[in-house]
Structure 1
Amino acid sequence: MTKTALITGVSREAGLGFAVARRFAELDFHVILAARDLAAAEPLAERLREDGYAATALRLDLADQASMDEAGSYVTQTFGHLDALVNNASGMPDYRVLSALDADMDVVRSALEVSVIGPWALTQALLPLLTAAPAARIVNVSSLAAQQVAVGLDLGEPMRSPAYAMAKYLLNALTGVLGRALKDTPILVNAVDPGNTATHPERVDETDRPAVDSANDIVWAATLGADGPTGQLFVDRKPVL
């Protein structure tokens, strides 16, 4: 049985999603590069195929249930199962906003759609495929920005990007909920904070880690053994309590 992995939000060569896809490909997975813009994902899939890997580009819009259902139908007809789902698609549209009181509600709704509702709905849509795999893994790409939302936590600076932070906080909660819901199955669900990652060459910070290092942590969580944890958030492969 061919191992398969679907990664959302794969639209840039320098992006984390593409680094994750390449790492899966190196482990002999057929990687499905999903993006809202198929024209952005196809050249990346072609790059992997040119390097000798099995890769397919797939249009997938996390704000469109029909798109998710179509993606599920494609994977069902082509592979019949899914071994790994990485909910990587994200965005930080309100980076310069420093207070929840200044948040734009349209931006908040968009962040929740992409980082919470989308992964939730996609997990539901792909669950038959995940169940059909011997031991599927779901990894939600999170961020410690979510810790800004934790009650009583003082990071010593203004809250930055409240829509993004709230969305990732809820994604962590969703991870725990899904982990418990699937506890009687072989499927493991975890979240990974990849840390500050060099995915934008035009504004790399010297403290940013290479995308391949962050990708390794995500793929680690996506290939945990049967006795692995579930419903947890990891940073550097260590659980965040």
Structure 2
Amino acid sequence: MTENRKIALVTGGNQGIGYEICRQLGAAGVHVLVGARDPARGAEAARKLAAAGADAASIRMDVTDPGEVAKAAESVAQRYGRLDILVNNAGVLLPEDRPSGSGAELVRQVYETNVFGVVRVTKAMLPLLRKSTGGRIVNMSSSLASLQLHGDPSFELGAFLMLGYNSSKTAVNALTVMWAKELAESGIKVNAADPGYCATAMTGYASPRTPAEGARAPVRLALLPDDGPSGGFFGEDGPIPW
């Protein structure tokens, strides 16, 4: 029964790291809502999770569509009455996104999903998170967002210069800090997670690090105890510099 389980919504939860977040949360006894733009792919992911023993359902959500986000919030409210965990995982990376070649339209396209989508979904779900006894918001970021790391010549990912993507994740970090400060008295904890450079469709499967490994940091933040941190930026091994 979902009344006795935490309820989590993971945007972009039908593949890659998002799917692994769903799987690991499901293994921890959380009822998982797989947010997906494509209803068929979302339903298939939920079926796979259920076959593996998770308590899962799918929910249609294109984070760039205000109408779909509003309908998703209404659906969660009607079915469950609350939301305990929101993982803002949906994101895009465009191959032509380079500092000297990215125009305003390309950057706007990236921000529409990576920044405005996070704002849109969080605003819609916040009333439901306030009804939880211990709400958690996890915003998927990246070490590529870190201005301090980019200022270090030894940064191992320093050659990945993507104007829209990197700056969008820096913006997500800023959102995380502000939401955490505003919601501090509510018990809702808000943190940013770096999954690391993982083998996913977004990266062309070019890394030995698996999506399962990438899901560890966001899952830990999604399941933080009441004395856990808020307003931080964390990878699997601990805090990451801003």
Q: Same fold (TM over 0.5)?
A: yes
Aligned residue for 1:9?
Answer: 12
Aligned residue for 1:186?
Answer: 187
- Distance in 1 of aligned mates of 2:40 and 2:85: 23
Q: How does 1:217-232 map to 2 (within 5 A)?
A: 217-232=217-232
Choose 120-129 or 165-174, whichever is displaced more: 120-129
Aligned residue for 2:138?
Answer: 139
8 Å Cα contact 2:200/2:211 also seen in 1: yes
Deviation at 1:228, TM superposition (A): 1.1
Choose 157-166 or 210-219, whichever is displaced more: 157-166
Q: How does 1:113-124 map to 2 (within 5 A)?
A: 113-124=112-123
**Deviation digits for residues 84-136 of structure 1 (CA, Å, limit 9, x no counterpart):** 1000001111x45442x321322211211111111112111111110111101
- Distance in 2 of aligned mates of 1:76 and 1:20: 22
Q: Aligned pair 1:104/2:103, yes or no?
A: yes
Moved segments of 4+, more than 6 Å? none
8 Å Cα contact 2:39/2:60 also seen in 1: yes
8 Å Cα contact 1:98/1:158 also seen in 2: no
- Distance in 1 of aligned mates of 2:8 and 2:48: 17
Q: Aligned pair 1:45/2:46, yes or no?
A: yes
Counterpart of 1:74, as a letter, is S
- Distance in 2 of aligned mates of 1:23 and 1:214: 11
8 Å Cα contact 2:139/2:193 also seen in 1: yes
**Deviation digits for residues 124-150 of structure 1 (CA, Å, limit 9, x no counterpart):** 111111011110100011011112x56
Q: How does 1:32-181 map to 2 (within 5 A)?
A: 32-93=33-94, 95-99=95-99, 101-147=100-146, 149=147, 153-155=151-153, 160-181=161-182
- Distance in 1 of aligned mates of 2:48 and 2:233: 32
- Distance in 1 of aligned mates of 2:128 and 2:220: 21
Q: Aligned pair 1:212/2:212, yes or no?
A: yes
SS for the counterpart of 1:102 is: coil
Counterpart of 2:12, as a letter, is G
- For structure 2, which runs of at least 5 residues remain unmatched after alignment? none
- CA change 1:154–1:102 in 2 (3 A) is farther
8 Å Cα contact 1:8/1:34 also seen in 2: yes
8 Å Cα contact 2:26/2:32 also seen in 1: yes
Counterpart of 1:8, as a letter, is T
- Distance in 2 of aligned mates of 1:162 and 1:26: 37
- Distance in 2 of aligned mates of 1:60 and 1:7: 10
8 Å Cα contact 2:97/2:106 also seen in 1: no
Counterpart of 2:176, as a letter, is T
- For structure 1, which runs of at least 5 residues remain unmatched after alignment? none
Deviation at 1:152, TM superposition (A): 7.9
RMSD after superposition: 2.1
Choose 18-27 or 33-42, whichever is displaced more: 33-42
